[in-house]
Structure 1
Amino acid sequence: MAKAVYIHIPFCTQICHYCDFNKVYLNRQPVDDYLIALKKEIHMTLEEAPTSLIETVFIGGGTPTALNESQLEFLLESIHQTLPTNTLKEFTIEANPGDLNGEKIRLLKDGGVNRLSLGVQTFNNELLKKIGRNHSVQQVYETVDAAKKYDFENISIDLMYRLPGQSMKDLRHSLLEFKNLQIPHASIYSLIIEPKTIFYNLMRKGKLPLPSEDVEADMYQFIIDEMASYGYKQYEISNFSKPGLESRHNLVYWNNESYYGFGAGAHSYLHGIRSSNIGPVNHYIQAVNAHRLPKREKRSLTKQEQMEEEMFLGLRKTAGVSVSKFTQKYGIDPLHHYDKQITQLVEKGLLEVGDGQIRLTKKGLFFGNVVFQSFIEV
């Protein structure tokens, strides 16, 4: 039974230069029709695959807080009307610091949201412009202060490194500013250049000055050391939190557990089947209004594929993969099944085995993709 729900809001007031998520400009979009269709999709899905226990809801995008107050209120009411939210432990919404005013924050609080994830990326106004963000550093401070006034304590921010023209000095400044905000969580990602993005086109033209791989590695090591010195535990390759305030929702993904995905382009994992929704907003609405689930693709995973995912998703966590839980779940001891891969990776200093766990070493954190690839059969 899935205990987690992801809800996708694909609308943005501005498209970031690095973003390859399913998104569209907000202007002239059928937002109200989309929200009605979203409510219908949740209802139809729960009729087909019911659950009585939902522990986490994550509203992502796009930019969910680009919705106006009445639209946000309708969305939150829809969630409570269609899902068993009385068992919720974590209810997160992604937000752009420039979009959140006092009225929206109050709506979120009254609507049961108890965790905010703010897309900050950097505390350098010039870098914000370079990457296509439309908020300012000042708006970050104002948003966090306003959220705290409404008793939001569980606040996370996203930061990025390896940005065009970014220096170690810039990164150090951003981490210090994060520390000064006194919030419990940060997700800190290296910039990845994805196809069909503005940055990808610039890179192909030789017009994207990125830090070298050596500098990127230095930045990551600096982040790990600095966050530890602030009292934040690294519990996943890119995530840091105060004890007990890890993202419950994201841990569902890394633990390879089931979850519902609703909205245009959203992904689900239910009963060993991974599926994705239709991406274009109007096509999504049309499918739901025709009383059919808006699925674009469905794929049933073999037991081997499920075990592969258990390994490479679980190894993202610093705690690693539990040998006993893996064995209980699949009836196979991973130390025996993946003996060759684990032995080779231990010899290279990328993996370690101990206390019933298989985990990345400190060196392995820098070569995660090499480790993960080792567990995928070609």
Structure 2
Amino acid sequence: MNPRSVYIHIPFCTHKCHYCDFTAYVVGGQPVDEYLQALEREMARTVEAVPPETIDTIFIGGGTPTVLTPRQMAFLLESIRRYFPRWSSDLEFTVEANPGTTGPDLLSVLRDGGVNRLSFGAQTFRADLLHRIGRVHSVEDIERSVEQARAVGIDNLSLDLMFGLPEQTVQDMEEALVRSLLLQPDHFSVYSLKVEEGTVFHTRLLQGRLPLPSEDDELEMYQLTRHRLSEAGYRQYEVSNFSRPGRESRHNSTYWRNLPYYGLGTGAHGYTNGVRHHNVKGVKEYIRLVQEGLPVAGAHPVERGEAMENQLILGLRLMEGVSRSQFRRRYGVEMETVFPDVIPDLLVKKLIVPEGDCYRLTEQGLLFGNEVFSAFLGETA
């Protein structure tokens, strides 16, 4: 299967957040125009090697893609259209955005370039906490950016929220949900803080200067989120994602369904022709390598057994679970034959349950998802 989804990475931002371990660099002094030209060259080389099908989803992530100027964004969008010209009639075209970085001019360029979905990194609605986690936008910026996006006709909007932040309380999470719901987005991504190596927060944690909520409070924040969003008409369709009917993230579902996708840009990951690859992370190195070929730092052919493990590990994140018949059609074997010990064990522990054609997480399995997912690792080796 050739990919029908495209991921493009813009590694620039106005300020790197204290929890961020993504490939991202403060935009000041960076060769942005040269990077966009190199990205266009990577597109040309990539589609020559792996010709595109009709494209169903495009996702521009970062970093903060909306730090690009309207001129730079127009160049990027024109490049995408040139090398991925066949778009499905219901294409989902998402751009990640930080509140406060999406003025009317940029939003008009996005709309005219085919973008029909924005994902705003709100994170929290407590002003001092935004500052404490390294965000540079205000609560008012969140509300203004949502209003401006709708004003230009981009009305498929998602908000990112975080819980488990330093000094965050359950009441803070309640307020964030209440204020978010007043904005009536179509989709929520709600993630718990993970303190990753190499981040400001990791340094502070090692120094004993990161006052995190208790596990009980973090669990209460997650359950509160699930309850409040369900009550407001949002369906939880993945461990961390909630949407109004028909507004699920189709691009991210590509990952969870273990389907191929193009990954373009510095630090990007892709999955084509049964091979997962990742690009180099440095901007200047990326620009240099694209002059001669593809900027791949490493590639990993995915063997059949690993692909079957990934199908369960990723697919069980979805509330609908993993289809036994689809697994059989894709791999020519029954799921239970491949995992004769793991599936019965998880059933006995009541972490998964059969439902129709699928296995899905139980309520307990949802809370102990990492135990479920890790149970499949290495089982086909």
Please classify the TM superposition score into its range, dividing by the shorter chain length: over 0.9
Paired position in structure 2 for 1:247:
249
Which shifted more, 337-346 or 105-114?
A: 337-346
1:280-291 map, 5 Å: 280-290=282-292
Paired position in structure 1 for 2:23:
22
Report the AA paired with residue 55 of structure 1.
D
Paired position in structure 2 for 1:130:
132
Paired position in structure 2 for 1:278:
280
Report the AA paired with residue 23 of structure 1.
A
CA distance in structure 1 between the aligned counterparts of 2:363 and 2:53, rounded to whole angstroms: 40
Contact 2:3–2:53 (8 Å) recurs in 1: no
1:348 Cα deviation after fit = 1.2
Paired position in structure 2 for 1:175:
177
Could you report, residue by residue, the CA deviation over 1:203-242 in whole angstroms, capped at 9, with x for unpaired residues?
A: 0000000011111111111111111101000000000000
Could you report, residue by residue, the CA deviation over 1:62-83 in whole angstroms, capped at 9, with x for unpaired residues?
A: 0000111111111111111111
| 3-state SS of paired residue (1:363) | helix
CA distance in structure 1 between the aligned counterparts of 2:371 and 2:172, rounded to whole angstroms: 29
CA distance in structure 1 between the aligned counterparts of 2:9 and 2:338, rounded to whole angstroms: 37
- Coordinate RMSD, CA, aligned: 0.9
CA distance in structure 1 between the aligned counterparts of 2:357 and 2:84, rounded to whole angstroms: 37
CA distance in structure 1 between the aligned counterparts of 2:18 and 2:101, rounded to whole angstroms: 19
1:182-221 map, 5 Å: 182-221=184-223
CA distance in structure 1 between the aligned counterparts of 2:73 and 2:208, rounded to whole angstroms: 41
Report the AA paired with residue 128 of structure 1.
L
1:198 Cα deviation after fit = 0.3
Matched, 1:349 2:350: yes
CA distance in structure 2 between the aligned counterparts of 1:55 and 1:248, rounded to whole angstroms: 8
CA distance in structure 1 between the aligned counterparts of 2:173 and 2:297, rounded to whole angstroms: 40
Paired position in structure 2 for 1:143:
145
Contact 1:7–1:58 (8 Å) recurs in 2: yes
CA distance in structure 1 between the aligned counterparts of 2:338 and 2:120, rounded to whole angstroms: 41
Which shifted more, 33-42 or 344-353?
A: 344-353
| 3-state SS of paired residue (2:95) | strand
Paired position in structure 2 for 1:365:
366
Report the AA paired with residue 109 of structure 2.
L
1:195 Cα deviation after fit = 0.4
Report the AA paired with residue 226 of structure 1.
R
1:1-378 map, 5 Å: 1-87=2-88, 89-290=91-292, 292-377=293-378
Runs of 4+ in 1 over 4 A off after TM superposition: none
CA distance in structure 2 between the aligned counterparts of 1:31 and 1:331, rounded to whole angstroms: 47
CA distance in structure 1 between the aligned counterparts of 2:234 and 2:62, rounded to whole angstroms: 26
Q: Provide the aligned length of Structure 1 versus Structure 2.
A: 377
Could you report, residue by residue, the CA deviation over 1:101-144 in whole angstroms, capped at 9, with x for unpaired residues?
A: 01111110111100000011001111100100000000111010
Contact 2:267–2:280 (8 Å) recurs in 1: yes
Could you report, residue by residue, the CA deviation over 1:8-66 in whole angstroms, capped at 9, with x for unpaired residues?
A: 00001100000000011101101000000000100110001101311110000000001
TM-score, normalised via structure 1 length:
0.98
| 3-state SS of paired residue (2:309) | helix
CA distance in structure 2 between the aligned counterparts of 1:34 and 1:152, rounded to whole angstroms: 27
Contact 2:53–2:86 (8 Å) recurs in 1: no
| 3-state SS of paired residue (1:352) | strand
1:85 Cα deviation after fit = 4.1
Could you report, residue by residue, the CA deviation over 1:71-98 in whole angstroms, capped at 9, with x for unpaired residues?
A: 1111111111111243261000000111
Share of identical aligned residues, percent?
Answer: 46
Could you report, residue by residue, the CA deviation over 1:139-177 in whole angstroms, capped at 9, with x for unpaired residues?
A: 111010111111212100100000000001100000111
Structure 2 unaligned segments of length 5 or more: list them.
Answer: none
CA distance in structure 1 between the aligned counterparts of 2:344 and 2:275, rounded to whole angstroms: 31
Contact 2:59–2:93 (8 Å) recurs in 1: yes
CA distance in structure 2 between the aligned counterparts of 1:12 and 1:333, rounded to whole angstroms: 46
Report the AA paired with residue 317 of structure 1.
L
Contact 1:55–1:85 (8 Å) recurs in 2: no
Report the AA paired with residue 175 of structure 1.
L
1:339 Cα deviation after fit = 2.8
Report the AA paired with residue 57 of structure 2.
T
CA distance in structure 2 between the aligned counterparts of 1:178 and 1:356, rounded to whole angstroms: 36
1:179 Cα deviation after fit = 0.9
CA distance in structure 2 between the aligned counterparts of 1:230 and 1:45, rounded to whole angstroms: 43
Contact 1:164–1:208 (8 Å) recurs in 2: yes
Structure 1 unaligned segments of length 5 or more: list them.
Answer: none
| 3-state SS of paired residue (1:256) | coil
| 3-state SS of paired residue (1:8) | strand
